[in-house]
Structure formats: structure tokens, C-alpha cells
Structure 1
Amino acid sequence: DSPAARQAAYWRDALAGVPEELALPTDRPRPATPSYQGDVVPFAVDAETGSGLARIARDSGATMFMVVHAAVTALLHRLGAGDDIAIGTPVSGRGDEQLDPMVGFFLNTLVLRADLAGEPSFADLVGRVRDTGLAAFSHADLPLEAVAEAVGQARSQSRNPLFQTMVTYHSVETGVSELFGVRASELPVEIGGSKFDLEFAFGGSEADGGISGGLRFATDLFERAGAERLTERLLRLLAAVVAAPDAPIASFDLMDEAERRQLDGWNDTAHVLDGPVNLADLVAAGAGRAEGPALVFEGQDLSRTDFDARVNR
């Protein structure tokens, strides 16, 4: 078999049965044809949490990308996306050394599948993501279109095939750089739009260990307020996994105080009842309606008076 055929066989097996669409908590129903309009919610991970995530990566023999990948899948899992979650991530398309001297934008997209069955801890999930990721990165030469064809998943104009959420991570250097004697600094440019339902972009700072990022979201599906809640839950999840990486993912509290009060309000169904409040009082009160049936069983009726007399023997 050719290298392409071997890689196609790998992806056919690795992505067999992958869900066609993640059950994301959208604010709007998915349109038949996406507009690809989008917006971005920025977020920042403090240096203490960023250093804690780096520690988890070292302890797990994983990269920072693998850790944030695990965090995003854990978040989506907690929000109802299920146990089988596929995301996409861009990778260099220069796997062949013959491409080294060539100028151009060589990029491919990998589909990474995460298994969250069995209520794993976050550390367990990082290990699963690491193992799956290493296998996927060793089969990264087949173009995404060829992967989709090999998997044979039904196509739809309403969504991206194989995955609808993208995750990226890159290390960033702050300050001023120099190029050919000219001092330059980074100028962020908003490109607009959104190719995917959600795109979580992380940038790790080499200077202080913090992480800056942004959640790009499709405005066809999400209100900005909904996307902001997603980033808030992500930050709470990151802090929680740093504090207890061996705790089950299901145990992490992702709600803020306002959400908790709202939930408590919905569950506040207590109602003060007039009259008897226990079984003995109810039986005694019913005895006042002596002729009414208290118990009907196999065609026999027991009046309230008879029932009360038997209860008090």
C-alpha cells in the first residue's frame, strides 16, 4: 500500500463512528446554510493557573496544547456534548523534507478525538488525549478532505464535516522585535467571521506563564452573552483542574454564584400546607368523614372509621 493509503486506513479506523455533530448548548438553532459571521470574546488565564497547567503537562508527559485540548473537551462534555468529542487543530503541512526550501503556506488540519467515557479525572483525560494526539500527529500528511472521504461521513451544508470546534495553542513572546534593523511590535488584527461553531485560541506567555486567548464563535448559533458564559466556565474549569487534577471531571463546579442562586430559586418548591402534616394526623382527620372509603383492595372497601380503629390497635 502507498503511504496515502496507509494513512487513509488509519483515519478510517480512528474516526469510525465519530458523531456527525456535537450537541453544543447553542442560543439559536443551526441554520440550513451558515453565514460564517462571527465574533470574539477575549479571555486571560492568570500566571498561577497557567503555571499549574504547565505542571500538569510535565507530570503527564504532554504538551500544553494537549492540556488545553483536554480542558476544552472536558468543558464541552460538562455542557452536554457527550463522551465522544472530536475537535480540529491546524498543523504544519511540511512533513516532507523536500518542501523545506519552498516558500508558501503549507498547513493541514487534524481531527483529534477524545474519549470521556467512565468518568475520568482530568489527569486521566490528559493521558488519553496525549496518546490519541501522538498517533494522530504521526498520520498528519493526509489532507483533511481526503480524511473526510476515507471516513465516509454524511455531508451537510449546515456544518463542518467531522468537527465543529477548533482548538489552537501557540507560545507568544511579548515586547519589541527587530527585523532587518527595523524595530517592530505585534499589532492584533480582527479578521472577522467564523469558519467553525467555536474556536478556542490559546497563547502562552513565555515571560510570566500566563495565557491569553479568545473564543471565536459563530453568531448564527451563539449570542455574545452565551459565548461570554462559555469563557467564564472555561476559566473556572482551568482553575479547578489545577487545584485537583486527579478529581473526576464531573465533580468540578462550573457555575458562578448568580447561576447557583437562580438554580436554587427554580428548585425552591416548598409550600406550606394547611391542616395535618403527618400520616397519623391525616388518618385522624379522615376519620371525621367516617363513611368515606379509606382503603380499597381486591374488591373490598375499608371505611375510614374501620381503618382508624385498626391503625390504633
Structure 2
Amino acid sequence: MTSSPSPALTARLAALTAQQRALLRAKVLRARPQERLTPGQRRLWETHYAIGGQPADVVCQAVHLTGATADLDLLAERVEGFVRDHEALRTTFQETDGEVRPVVHETLPPWLTRAHCATAQEAQALARELAHEPFDLASGPLLRVVLATGPVVQEAWLLVVVHNLVFDAWSFDMLLDALARDARAPAPATTPFSRWARDQAAWVADDDGRAAAEYWTAEVDAPPPPLPTDRPRSGTTARNGNRVEFSLPPGVNVGIAALAKREAASVYAGWLAVAWAALEGFGGRADTLLGTFTAGRDRPGAETVVGYLLNVLPVRLRDPADGSWTARVRAAGTISRAGLRHAAYPGELIDVPRRVPGTHPLFDAVFVFDNLGETTRTIQGAAVSTADVDKGTARYDLTLAVYPRADGVTGWLEYDTELYEETTARRLAELFTTAAEEASREGCR
């Protein structure tokens, strides 16, 4: 039962100006706990149960510390402090009468254990094993950390496994920053995930959100058919996967960057044009629809949020004009810039009929591009290197990842083994590397 506000309070509220009422409303919204899942979390929740809890949407990282003796007790304290600072890592998910709600706990210690790893292979195998252990989303914790000694005292491992419902790649970098921070330095500001979630919902409902919805609906209207597979799609795949790795010399990225610059496009657009050409050769159609990741951190304060903010949006590449690399890069640059203006819109809300059976209505292929390089960090004087551990799963039917670095280009093609044979995946990877070399030669002319 609720009571009516007192006459005095009613009078005070009525006396507020429009600006004062808006400020009061914003304060009330910020104080209210997150009531439901974000669209991205909803998709992850549904996928988790659709594939029987397989680790498809799980961050699995092996952090190697070398050159100094790490104090593992202190690292454990830092990890526990990071959890206390960020409500997402103290969150579980409760389903009642078909409605799923996040539950933020005042305390929810991470799962921490110790081990010994003599080699990188042992460390990654242990991380993979930990990722395959089912997550209890209702009880938690959803963060698992192994602190492992290495073969010598100046070598150690930090294995991080966490469900994407509460964590993304940006969050992982924030964790490493927290572990590397000087104890004398002030702790950075943090923003609760629940506040970001409310801000996202408010943005979706306002004029900018409605304009973004119209843009994305038009972009995916009358989509092309999915890419061909070796076996029929049924919609019940367990998302078991494998990866085909590839590499290219440094000059390839230099040439593609030069080509993109000539067309006033980003390096991302140059590599996107390469992916477009490869998928066109693979699927036989110029009209290509694939997904791409955005950080979801364009609003003020979002850079200090731990949680799942990652957004997956469509890229529709349709007209390669004369098919030249110049035309492809120009088209990729134009569509990338247009989409960037609406990148805050949750991809899960794009209003289209289901195109692909399975766990995502739009995408059978996703393009991942990361040219930032590995940040130089030290933790307790030890050099830090990280490895994204292959969990043996496939988040999508096909995922093409490219990492241009100063010493060369590396990448991998992840594929669903229930849909594709390894020979097919290798053929697509070869189409991509061949296209990259051709585009680079064009850029170097």
C-alpha cells in the first residue's frame, strides 16, 4: 500500500521550475536500482540457456607476468577490491515468473584459487577448463581468477574467466589497470553499471534513439540470405567451434592504411573492404550483411563502467561500384561513418524478422578489428602480456578477427564446427589473406 504525498510536499514540487523538476527526476532515476536486463544482457541470458550453458559468451584471458616476482597475496587483495568497487561483479540474475532481474549484492567475493603452471600451454589449458565449468547465474560469483606460480620465481600467471553478462573486453583492461596502479595513487572514479543501463534505456526512448532505430531498420531491410554452410542450419547448434589462424607481413597493413587514407577513410574501413571482398567471393553476392563490435562507451562516464557494454551492430555493404579496391574502401568508409552516428543503439532492438536460425537474428558472420596494440603495462614490476584463450566455442557461425601490429598482422577465423568443415574455413581465411595482399598492393601504388 502506498501513501499520497503530503500537501506541503505537493506544494513544494509544484513550485519547482521545469529545469529543477528535470534535475530532480534525473537524481531519482540515478538512485533507482537497475530493474531489468539491458538488451545485450537479455541476448546473453537467452543464449546461455539455449546452448546449455556452453562458454560461448565468456571472457577467458591468460595474463603472463614476467621479469619480477609478483606478490600473489597482494594481487588477490586487488582483485577483491576491484569487485567491491564495481557492482556488476557483485551481480547475479534471478528469474521469477519468466522475468529476469539483476540482483546486486553488497558483498559477493570472486572465486579465487591458486595453482602452478610450468608452461603457457598449461596456463591456457587451465583457463579453458575453468571456462567450461558451468556458471550458476542465480548464485554467482561470475568472476573466476586463478593466481598461478610459474616455473621460476620471476614468472606468474593470472587467469581470468568471467561471464559476459557482467564483463567485456574494456572491463578486462580496467581490471589490469587496477592491478597495475601504484598503491599510493588515488583510486579512479567509477560509474555503476545500473546507472549506465538506465541512461541507455532513456536514450533509446528519446529522439536520438528513435532516429537511430529508423536508420538501422532501413539498413537491414530486405537483407541478403545467410552465407552458405557445409551442413544445414537448424537453430539448435551447441556453438562448438574451432579457429584457423593466419598472419601477414607488416607491409600489408601499411598498404591498406595508405589506400584508406587516399579515400579519407579509416584503417578499419580499409580492412572492412577486404572482409567484404572475401565474403563476396565466399558467398557469391556483393550484398553482404555482417556484424561489427562497438565499445558502447560513447556517453560521459561510460569509460569508468565495468559490465557488458559491448554492442554488436550490422554493417550492410551492397554496392562495390566497379569492384575496384578504391570503390570498395570508399563505400566501406561511407557506411562506417553513417553507422557511427547511431552506434549507441542496441543491436538487439533492431526491428527485423529473424534472418538466421540460432542465437542471433541478423548475423551469421562478424568482423572484429583491433589495431590498438597491446598496452605496455607492468604489475609489481613484472611485464604483462595477455592471450585471448580459444575456448573451443563459436559465438557466431563465422567470426573473422584481425590484429594489425607494427611487427605484422595476425588474425583468426572462428567457425561453428556443426556448420562448417575445417577445409571450408581455411578456404575463407585464404580468400581474406589474398584479398588483403591485393588491397595492399593497390595502396602502395
Does the TM-score normalized on the shorter chain lie above 0.5?
yes
Q: Which residue of the partner structure matches residue 223 of structure 1?
A: 421
Q: Which residue of the partner structure matches residue 12 of structure 1?
A: 217
1:156-202 residue CA offsets vs partner (Å, 9 max, x unmatched): 54463222111011125469631353322223411221121111100
Q: Give the stretch that moved more between structures: 214-223 or 74-83.
A: 74-83
Asked if the contact 1:7–1:139 (Cα under 8 Å) also holds between the matched residues in 2, the reply is: yes
- The alpha carbon displacement at 1:70 in A equals 1.0
What secondary structure sits across from 1:52 in the alignment? helix
- The alpha carbon displacement at 1:134 in A equals 0.7
Query: Which residue of the other structure, out of 10, 14, 23, is the alignment partner of 2:227?
Result: 23
Q: Which amino acid aligns with 1:9?
A: E
Q: Which residue of the partner structure matches residue 343 of structure 2?
A: 140
- The alpha carbon displacement at 1:118 in A equals 4.2
Q: Which residue of the partner structure matches residue 245 of structure 2?
A: 42
Question: How do 1:162-173 and structure 2 match up within 5 A?
Answer: 162-171=362-371, 173=373
Q: Report the Cα distance in structure 1 between the residues aligned to 2:308 and 2:411, rounded to whole angstroms.
A: 23
What secondary structure sits across from 1:187 in the alignment? strand
Q: Which amino acid aligns with 1:5?
A: R
- The alpha carbon displacement at 1:128 in A equals 0.7
Change in 2 beyond 3 A, CA 1:52/1:100: closer
Q: Which residue of the partner structure matches residue 386 of structure 2?
A: 186
Question: How do 1:111-260 and structure 2 match up within 5 A?
Answer: 111-116=314-319, 118-147=321-350, 150=351, 152-154=352-354, 157-158=357-358, 160-171=360-371, 173=373, 177-205=377-405, 207-208=406-407, 210-244=408-442
CA RMSD after TM alignment: 2.4
Query: Which residue of the other structure, out of 65, 69, 86, is the alignment partner of 2:272?
Result: 69
TM-score by length of structure 1 reads 0.70
Asked if the contact 1:41–1:215 (Cα under 8 Å) also holds between the matched residues in 2, the reply is: yes
Asked if the contact 2:321–2:327 (Cα under 8 Å) also holds between the matched residues in 1, the reply is: no
Asked if the contact 2:255–2:443 (Cα under 8 Å) also holds between the matched residues in 1, the reply is: no
Q: Which amino acid aligns with 1:102?
A: V
TM-score by length of structure 2 reads 0.50
How many residues align? The count is 240
Q: Report the Cα distance in structure 2 between the residues aligned to 1:51 and 1:243, rounded to whole angstroms.
A: 10
Q: Report the Cα distance in structure 2 between the residues aligned to 1:144 and 1:243, rounded to whole angstroms.
A: 35
1:124-145 residue CA offsets vs partner (Å, 9 max, x unmatched): 0111111111111110111111
1:46-94 residue CA offsets vs partner (Å, 9 max, x unmatched): 1222221121122122222211111111111122341211111110112
Structure 1 gaps, min length 5: 248-313
- The alpha carbon displacement at 1:36 in A equals 0.7
Asked if the contact 1:204–1:211 (Cα under 8 Å) also holds between the matched residues in 2, the reply is: yes
Asked if the contact 2:400–2:411 (Cα under 8 Å) also holds between the matched residues in 1, the reply is: yes
**Aligned pair 1:103/2:306, yes or no?**
yes
Q: Report the Cα distance in structure 2 between the residues aligned to 1:103 and 1:231, rounded to whole angstroms.
A: 34
Q: Give the stretch that moved more between structures: 86-95 or 27-36.
A: 27-36
Q: Give the stretch that moved more between structures: 50-59 or 174-183.
A: 174-183
What secondary structure sits across from 1:43 in the alignment? strand
Share of identical aligned residues, percent?
26
Q: Give the stretch that moved more between structures: 4-13 or 212-221.
A: 4-13
Asked if the contact 1:62–1:126 (Cα under 8 Å) also holds between the matched residues in 2, the reply is: yes
1:268-310 residue CA offsets vs partner (Å, 9 max, x unmatched): xxxxxxxxxxxxxxxxxxxxxxxxxxxxxxxxxxxxxxxxxxx
Q: Which amino acid aligns with 1:189?
A: V
Structure 2 gaps, min length 5: 1-205
Change in 2 beyond 3 A, CA 1:198/1:50: same
